[in-house]
Structures are given as structure tokens and as C-alpha cells.
Amino acid sequence: MSTVLEGVEDRPFIPTEYVVRLARTPWEQAGYYALRREVFCTEQRVFADDDRDAIDEVAIPIIAAYCVAGMPDRIVGAVRIHEAEPGVWRGSRLAVHAGHRKLGRIGAELIRMAVSTAHGLGAMRFLAQVQEQNVLFFRRLYWKSLGAITLHGLPHHDMQADLSRYPAHGQEQTWLLRPQPRNRQVA
Ligand SMILES: CC(C)(COP(=O)(O)OP(=O)(O)OC[C@H]1O[C@@H](n2cnc3c(N)ncnc32)[C@H](O)[C@@H]1OP(=O)(O)O)[C@@H](O)C(=O)NCCC(=O)NCCS
């Protein structure tokens, strides 16, 4: 091994660019469902084999992917939105791949894309059922709890977004550049 490359093989690959967009293509939708299965079935065991339900037939899927050479390479984030009743939208199945959490603002940007997209489509209220361990995360993003509930046998909170913090938009995608973990040294 040359001196120039010393240590390089141990350095983790840290993407510097992520795109957050409405999932339109078969590749994006396959990655979206695969990530949901990985997080909600394999990791959290909330569902046995598949977490799909009837909402998927009407929901708008949103993904985050990291990019290599400017091209989306792997789906590492997911969320879906749907209009549950006129003017009332809901977000669900928010997930970031375990290796890409707290790297920057991938989860927060998925929420921003979800709520601002729904706002642009006429949402007057935006709600989600949030796992208890994530209530603080949502509070920091201008959501309030409407009360504690039990869902899938697990403690959750019904939560509502402050729409004044999520201006309506109709953007297809947004970009996150260089979200970096604070505890890693990157050249
Ligand atoms: C919850 C989840 C989506 C957060 O995604 P993430 O990409 O790690 O979140 P971000 O990096 O955007 O976090 C933004 C900020 O919130 C903080 N944060 C993240 N998760 C948090 C939590 N559960 N509680 C409190 N703060 C949290 C981050 O440290 C970061 O803080 P900073 O702005 O001071 O740096 C992710 O942990 C996840 O997918 N978990 C498993 C599935 C799940 O629980 N889904 C949600 C169901 S309600």
C-alpha cells in the first residue's frame, strides 16, 4: 500500500449530495417500498413481511436518494402523503435508512417536502401519527401534539404541523448538499 493511500481504505463513504423528490419512476418506487420494508418490517418489526396498505393506492410517495456524480444512486429516505378528507392531509411511513440518520437534515427535509407539497395541493391541516421517541423531533420542526394514542400496539402521538412554517410549494425536488456528521473527520 502506498503512503498516499494509507488509511483511505478505512474511510467510510459519505455522500455529499442528496435529492428529495416525488417518487415517479419504477426505480424510485421500488427503492421506496424496499426502504419501508427494511425499516418498518426488519428493523422495527411493526409489520411482519410488508407494510403496504390501502393508503398506498392514493398516497403520493416521496423519496430521498444520495447522489453519485450528480445521479441518484440509492434510496435512503421515504415518506408518503395523502388527503384523508377534504383539506386534511396526512403524512406516514417516514423513514431514513439507519446508516444515513442524523447526518444532516434528511428526515427534516422529507417532512418539509411532504408538508409543503400538501400545502401546495390545498391542505388546511396536516397530521401524522408519530412514534413516541420521535415526538421531540417533530416538536422541533413546529409540530404540536394533539394527544397520546396507541397504534400497532406502540405508543404514538397524534401531531399537527404548523402550516405557517411550511410555505406551499409545487416543487418536484429539492437538494441537500454536504450533510455531514459532526463526529467524523472528513477530508
Ligand atoms: C425519525 C427519523 C426519520 C429521523 O430522520 P433523520 O434523518 O435522522 O433526522 P434529521 O437528520 O433530519 O434530524 C434533524 C434534527 O433532529 C434530530 N433528531 C433526529 N431524530 C430525533 C429524535 N428521534 N428525537 C429528537 N431529535 C431527533 C437530529 O439530531 C437533528 O438535530 P440537529 O438539527 O440539532 O442536528 C429516523 O430516525 C428514522 O427513520 N427512524 C426510524 C423510522 C421511524 O421512527 N420513523 C418515524 C415514524 S413516526
Reduce the secondary structure of 83-141 to three states and give it as a string.
Answer: EEECCEEEEEEEEECHHHCCCCCHHHHHHHHHHHHHHHCCCCEEEEEEEHHHHHHHHHC
Quote the ligand 1 centre to 96 CA distance (angstroms): 8
Sign of CA dihedral 130, 133, 136, 141: negative
Query: Ligand 1 centroid to 20 CA: how many Å?
Result: 16
152: Cβ below 6 Å to ligand 1?
no
pLDDT of the residue at 187? 43
CA–CA distance, 103 with 117 (Å, rounded to integer): 23
Residues of the chain with pLDDT under 70: 1-11, 178-187
- How much is the mean pLDDT over the chain? 91
The protein residue with its alpha carbon nearest to ligand 1, atom 16, reads: 137
Would you state the pLDDT for residue 31?
98
CA of 90 to the centre of ligand 1 (A): 19
Which pLDDT score, from 0 to 100, does residue 1 have? 44
What separation in Å is there between the alpha carbon of 6 and the centre of ligand 1? 34
Q: Is 129 close to ligand 1, i.e. is its CB under 6 Å away?
A: no
Is 61 exposed, middle or buried, given 0-12, 13-18 or 19+ CB atoms closer than 10 A? buried
- Expressed in angstroms and rounded, the spacing between residue 128 Cα and the centre of ligand 1 is 15
Which atom of ligand 1 is nearest the CA belonging to 97?
39
The answer to whether the CB of 106 is under 6 A from ligand 1 is yes
Predicted local distance difference test score (pLDDT) of residue 88: 98
Rounded to an integer, what distance in angstroms lies between the CA atom of residue 73 and that of residue 7? Answer: 25
pLDDT of residue 25: 96
> For ligand 1, atom 18, which residue shows the shortest CA distance?
137
pLDDT of residue 134: 98
Which domains are seen in the chain, by residue range? 15-177 (3.40.630.30)
